[in-house]
Amino acid sequence: MEEEHFPLPQSGLKQDFGKLQYGCEHYRRRCKIRAPCCDRIFTCRHCHNEAMTSLSNPKDRHELVRQDIRQVVCLICNTEQEVAKVCRKCNVNMGEYFCDICKFYDDNTEKKQFHCDACGICRVGGRENFFHCERCGSCYSTPLRDNHKCVENSMKSYCPICWEFLFDSIKDTTVMPCGHTIHWECFSEMESMNQYRCPICLKTVVDMSASWALLKMEIECTPMPEEYSHEVSVHCNDCSHISKVRFHILGHKCSQCNSFNTWRTSSGGRQ
């Protein structure tokens, strides 16, 4: 059986040649990047970071600054060259979406990528669907424009569940009612485990009105013995009010906002 020989691509190829056929688990693209920090070639910065942050020697671990990328390698003709959208040799788009600021390539334009000058990085989801909150320091979806609590640089922090840096994470994020941010999948997992409080500030982040009503009813139906009939001081995590309430083993309701998300500040006791 004769060995097949495929000619190397020459200039003049259509720019969409090989679209969506190359890349990695993170992005579809037709080039690799040369990381200036370690002079090694990777398909994308996430591939680089995963490899470099898992090195056995902590001193060798590092992450790639995307804006520092200067050289890329075309995956169609294997030509190394300066960062550009179109390969100088075979004339294909190395990425249907290309950002010269972020040195970012992606063939899957259904993500509706756009560059936010205020964030300094590329986002996905369509520019028309997002606004930049100066105080929070990041882009949020338009329904949150007048419907979220601002926390200074809240996106420039780590997910309180998985501890991944949120600002440039490729996972979906959400803003909790308290203003702190978290990965959407981490928030969903937290809910599935009946965790209703923000891991950072301990405020209630889901609607607990039905649960509070059931707990109130259960407390009313379960009177405490006479020897435990005394008051305790409780601090409310939701409104920060300190209340004097009757002790009950099942919980203590804030006298200000009626939340049961409280903790005891005194043991109380009979006089």
Contact 9, 17 (CB under 8 A): yes
pLDDT of residue 205: 95
Contact 126, 109 (CB under 8 A): no
Read off the tokens for 195. Answer: 């965790």
- Whole-number Å distance between alpha carbons of 195 and 63: 33
pTM of the predicted protein model: 0.73
Please give the chain's pLDDT, 271 residues, in tens.
344 444 445 556 899 999 999 999 999 999 999 999 999 999 999 999 999 999 999 999 999 999 999 999 999 999 999 999 999 999 999 999 999 999 999 999 999 999 999 999 999 999 999 999 999 888 988 998 888 889 888 888 999 999 998 888 888 888 999 999 999 999 999 999 989 999 999 999 999 999 999 999 999 999 999 888 899 999 999 999 999 999 999 999 999 999 999 999 976 554 4
Closest CA to 73 of 41, 96, 100, 95: 41
Domain boundaries, the chain: 23-106, 113-193, 208-264
- Whole-number Å distance between alpha carbons of 97 and 101: 12
The span from the first CA to the last CA of the chain, in angstroms, equals 99
pLDDT digits over 31-79, tens only? 999 999 999 999 999 999 999 999 999 999 999 999 999 999 999 999 9
pLDDT of residue 1: 38
pLDDT digits over 161-183, tens only? 999 988 888 888 889 999 999 99
* Residue 112, amino acid: K
pLDDT of residue 270: 47
pLDDT of residue 23: 97
pLDDT of residue 271: 40
CATH no. for 208-264: 2.20.28.10
